[in-house]
């Protein structure tokens, strides 16, 4: 039995429609469509969604847990949404937002322009050091945050760069003067 797959998904405000193997999820934030494989079946009762498998094989158990997690993320996304905070550390490092475009000054000789994907919004604080990315799609949000972080990953000697909130950067000692 899949430990993840057998857990029910709580539904509070999302409207879910099942058409065969297609599941339509509508909410206040977004709308998603999810295709289930033939091995996975869905039941909705008492504001809970439960997934089950047709036959108990290893491949079906893997699909069961995977699709349960994907559906849970989509339901949470349309009900509440997801948010990820990025912190820019470094002298003169900052971000400026202009519409759906983000201009990053990260210590290079040029500024980096990044266009946010459709469905992802960003809030930049007045110092330009903290970015709050919001989206209903967890996968899209993670990809956007990784793309921004990849422009200047945190480095271990000074601790500067773009990092996630709560990320621990293992610091290294610099060179020491020998006598």
**How does pLDDT run across 124-139, given as a tens digit for each residue?**
999 999 999 999 999 9
DSSP annotation string for 106-136: -SSSS-EEEEPPTTEEEEE-TTS-EEEEEES
If we measure between CA atoms, which residue out of 121, 133, 146 comes closest to residue 83? 133
Distance between CA atoms of 5 and 9, rounded to whole angstroms? Answer: 10
Q: Is residue 172 included in any domain, yes or no?
A: no
Q: Which domain holds residue 139?
A: 82-164
- Please tell me the total count of domains within the chain: 2
Q: Which of 79, 99, 125 is the last residue of a domain?
A: 79
Provide the pLDDT for residue 61.
Answer: 87
Q: Which of 60, 79, 98 is the last residue of a domain?
A: 79
Provide the pLDDT for residue 20.
Answer: 86
* Domain co-membership, 88 together with 74: no
**How does pLDDT run across 83-119, given as a tens digit for each residue?**
999 999 999 999 999 988 999 999 999 999 999 999 9
Provide the pLDDT for residue 112.
Answer: 95
Q: Give the confidence band of 75 by pLDDT, cuts at 50, 70, 90.
A: very high
Q: Give the confidence band of 175 by pLDDT, cuts at 50, 70, 90.
A: confident
Distance between CA atoms of 150 and 169, rounded to whole angstroms? Answer: 15
CATH number at residue 39: 3.90.930.12
Q: Residue 88 in contact with residue 81, Cβ under 8 Å?
A: no
Provide the pLDDT for residue 178.
Answer: 74
Provide the pLDDT for residue 96.
Answer: 95
Q: Is residue 3 included in any domain, yes or no?
A: no
Distance between CA atoms of 179 and 78, rounded to whole angstroms? Answer: 63
Provide the pLDDT for residue 177.
Answer: 79
Provide the pLDDT for residue 9.
Answer: 92
Q: Where are the alpha helices (DSSP H) in the chain?
A: 58-79, 138-150
**How does pLDDT run across 28-59, given as a tens digit for each residue?**
888 999 999 999 999 998 899 999 999 988 88
Q: Which of 79, 107, 141 is the last residue of a domain?
A: 79
Judge whether residue 160 has pLDDT over 80. Answer: yes
Three-state DSSP state, 38: coil
Judge whether residue 148 has pLDDT over 80. Answer: yes
Three-state DSSP state, 89: strand
């Amino acid at each position: 039995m899949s430990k993840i797959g057998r857990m029910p998904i709580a539904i509070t405000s999302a409207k879910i429609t099942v058409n065969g193997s297609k599941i339509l999820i509508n909410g206040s934030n977004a709308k998603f469509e999810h295709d289930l494989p033939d091995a996975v079946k869905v039941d909705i009762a008492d504001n809970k969604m439960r997934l089950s498998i047709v036959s108990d094989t290893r491949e079906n158990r893997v699909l069961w847990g995977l699709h349960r997690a994907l559906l849970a993320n989509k339901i949470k996304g349309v009900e509440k949404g997801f948010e990820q905070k990025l912190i820019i550390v470094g002298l003169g490092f900052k971000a400026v937002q202009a519409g759906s475009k983000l201009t990053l000054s990260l210590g290079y000789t040029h500024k980096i322009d990044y266009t946010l994907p459709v469905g992802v919004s960003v809030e930049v604080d007045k110092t330009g050091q903290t970015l709050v990315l919001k989206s209903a799609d967890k996968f899209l949000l993670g990809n956007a945050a990784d793309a921004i972080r990849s422009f200047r990953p945190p480095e271990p000697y000074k601790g500067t760069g773009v990092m996630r909130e709560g990320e621990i950067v293992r610091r290294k000692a610099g060179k020491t003067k020998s006598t």
